[in-house]
Amino acid sequence: MIARFSIFISLFLAATSLAAQEQPAYTIYNAKGKASNYAQMLKAMQNADVVLFGELHDNPIVHWLQYETTRSLIASKGPGKVRLGAEMFEADVQQDLNRYLAGDTTLNEKDMMKICRAWPNYKTDYKPLVELARENRIPFVASNIPRRYAGIVYRGGFEALDTLPSAKKAHIAPLPVAYDSTLPGYRDIFMAVGGHGTPNLPKAQAIKDATMGWFIAQNQQPGGVFIHYNGTYHSDNHEGILWYLNRYKPGLKIVTISSQMQEKTAPLKKENLGKGDFVIIVPESMTRTY
């Protein structure tokens, strides 16, 4: 009996040791910092009008979760109730992106990537989402401001956009753009350069947030869910895009997802608490897509 008990204890300790050595690829937390899971996050997304899925641009786990949740939403709500949009495509390429999504045989993938100025990591990280939209005939909104116009704001402030012709202003949030320099996200951008940089630096970020918020508002359909993929900083702490979206279309049920890295996925660090309605923590040692 003693020998059997000793064997049992040895096996129990071995199993406990192995469990302690498990390295989860991600852990999900809710806004209160309590451990959540994929099913709970997906349910919240299903019940939302807009999902701002904040990503780490080079993180394969986050991109995989974007793909899986999007695929699940399409299956559960139906293709006609789902729309997609992304920071990674600028508003002035919408017509060409639409041609590709519609299956235009005169526009192959290689040409689309060039014309639409696809990011270098398009094939590994964003192609799966675009192809989901293409296969299911789902709109994919190019929501970001053309980079050159954000550069104009960086050099000359919001007022520098007033000189643009109307056709180009159509690719930007309506002017004049509201702006609150005291929002922590914008304040931190300015302070990151020691408070000595141009105050136009956070404004260049804000015009991106405003434009993405505007095009989300214009394309969100009643009873459907709009999933928007953006760098996590654009929607962390319920600021950025969300701040503008609430101005353009008040009353929307918005769910934010923040992606962060920690040395270990548990426990959740204090600085990541409340960054989103759900916070995805990925280990810092995770491989990168570029």
CA dist 218 and 216 (Å) reads: 5
- Summarize the confidence of residues 74-79 as an average pLDDT: 97
Number of neighbouring beta carbons within 10 Å of residue 125: 24
Global pTM reads 0.92
Mean pLDDT of the chain: 93
User: Sign of torsion, CA 37 40 42 44?
Assistant: negative
Q: What average pLDDT does the segment 124-133 reach?
A: 98
Question: DSSP code of 193?
Answer: T
Q: Write down the pLDDT at residue 217.
A: 98
- What Cα–Cα distance (Å) separates residue 185 from each residue in 181, 182, 236, 258? 9, 8, 8, 14
Helix axes 241-248, 200-219, angle to 10 degrees: 50
CATH number for the domain whose boundaries are 25-283: 3.40.50.11550
Q: What is the pLDDT of residues 237-250, one digit of tens each?
A: 999 999 999 999 99
- How much of the chain, in percent, has pLDDT values that exceed 70? 91
Confidence label for 21 from pLDDT (cuts 50, 70 and 90) = low
Binned at pLDDT 50, 70 and 90, residue 16 comes out as very low
Statement: residue 17 has pLDDT above 80: no
The per-residue DSSP string of 128-171 comes to: HHHHHHHHHT--EEEEEPPHHHHHHHHHH-GGGGGGS-HHHHTT
DSSP string, 50-98: EEEEEE-TT-HHHHHHHHHHHHHHHHHH-GGGEEEEEEEEEGGGHHHHH
Domain range annotation of the chain: 25-283
Look at 43-52, 156-165, 190-199, 207-216 and tell me which has the smallest mean pLDDT.
Answer: 190-199
Task: Tell which wins on pLDDT, 185 or 15.
Answer: 185
